[in-house]
Amino acid sequence: MAKMNYMYNGSSDYIVSEELRNSVNIAIALQKPLLIKGEPGTGKTMLAQSIADSLGKKLIIWNIKSTTKAQEGLYVYDTVQRLYDSQFGDHDVADIKKYIKLGKLGEALNAEEQVVLLIDEIDKADLEFPNDLLWELDQMSFYIPETKETITAKTRPIVIVTSNAEKELPDAFLRRCIFHYIAFPDPKGMEEIIKVHHPRLEKKLLEQAMETFYMLREVPHLQKRPSTSELIDWLQALVVGGISPDKIKEDLPFLGVLLKKNEDLDTLLSGLYNKSQAPGRTYISGSLNRYRQ
């Protein structure tokens, strides 16, 4: 059993909950991939950066798209280039190695020192994608038939996998992962996160903005509820726009920063106007007390 060589403790620009910190350290110690799920904007991708920063390791990011194949993460054999070179170039094409380009996973395994590998949004890819990576993630090695080479990790990289739950991940893959769900931060946690991004924020403004923000999240039938990153942008907009804290709840300025979909704006407005004769006010103040404990 590996010892706890590295202890992740969060970094200066990323607030980590105790649970998440535990999960990260468990994953590092057990040398298993850490699968992170959570609402958009809860800092899934940021986590890998934070781990890399705090442990002083290089971060390699593999962004997954709907067309990404598992093979691409290992290596790509550029046959077309080789064919071209053989016909026109004065290159020596006998050395196949020159035409083998390592993918992100290959790069991480081939690295001299331990790296942090982020496999971002794994659910974007094809259903079978995670299954195709099982062996490589288990053994941390792969074979290149063209060059008869086996690339094995000198030190197993710290693997962080994020998912937005667009697709179900296969059980076999899940079994090999440590899982953590980043819950949406409560107001107290949120204040800490905001302090990292806006250290000198007026207290009144923050309070008002937070109350409005959590109120908006409670509005039923929103397609995309505003999340942390939107709140941070919104606060920026409020500060730059010089909005008076008293006006925030009444006027809902720069609402477009928080709600990105037209339908959501409509839902909110119709909600506000239907609930009371005096637009907005009753509805908002009614839902406030829930966030004061």
Partner 1 sequence: MFTNFFYTLKNFGIPVSMNEWDSLLDALEAGMGGASLTGFYHLCRALLVKTEAHYDRFDLAFATFFREIETPEGLPDKIWEWLDKELPELEITEEMRRNHRQLDLDELKRMLEERLAEQDGEHHGGNKWVGTGGTSPFGHSGYHPGGIRIGGESMHLSAVKVAGERRFQEFRTDETLGIRQFQTALRRLRHLTTRLDGAKTDLDLDATVDKTCENAGRLELVWERPRENGIKVLLLMDAGGSMVPYSRLCNQLFTAVNKSSHFKDLKIFYFHNCIYDWLFHNSHCRNDEFTDTEYVLKTYSPDYRVIIVGDASMAPSELTRVGGVIEWGQYNDKPGIDWLRRIRHHFEYSVWLNPISKDFWDWTDGAWSINKISEIFPMEELTIDGLDRSISKLRSKHAVKAV
What's the rounded Cα separation, in Å, for the pair 39 and 166? 11
Q: Is 29 in the site for partner 1 (CB under 8 A)?
A: yes
The yes or no reply on residue 41 touching partner 1 (CB under 8 A) is: no
- Contact letters (x/-) for partner 1, 125-164, by CB under 8 A? --x-------------------------------------
| Binding status of residue 18 toward partner 1 by CB under 8 A | yes
Q: Select 107 or 230, whichever has its Cβ closest to partner 1.
A: 230
CA distance 91 to 292: 71
* Residue 80 near partner 1 by CB under 8 A: yes
Which residue stretch of 103-111, 141-149, 166-174, 253-261 sits at the interface with partner 1 (rule: CB under 8 A)?
166-174
Contact 119, 64 (CB under 8 A): yes
179 binds partner 1 (CB under 8 A): yes
Contact 36, 164 (CB under 8 A): no
Binding residues for partner 1, total number by CB under 8 A: 42
Alpha-helical regions (H) of the chain: 18-30, 44-55, 70-74, 79-87, 104-110, 129-132, 134-139, 171-175, 187-197, 203-218, 228-240, 245-251, 255-258, 262-275, 281-286
List residues near partner 1 by CB under 8 A.
1-4, 17-19, 22-23, 25-27, 29-30, 32, 35, 37, 66, 80, 83-84, 87, 127, 166-168, 170-171, 174-181, 183-186, 188-189
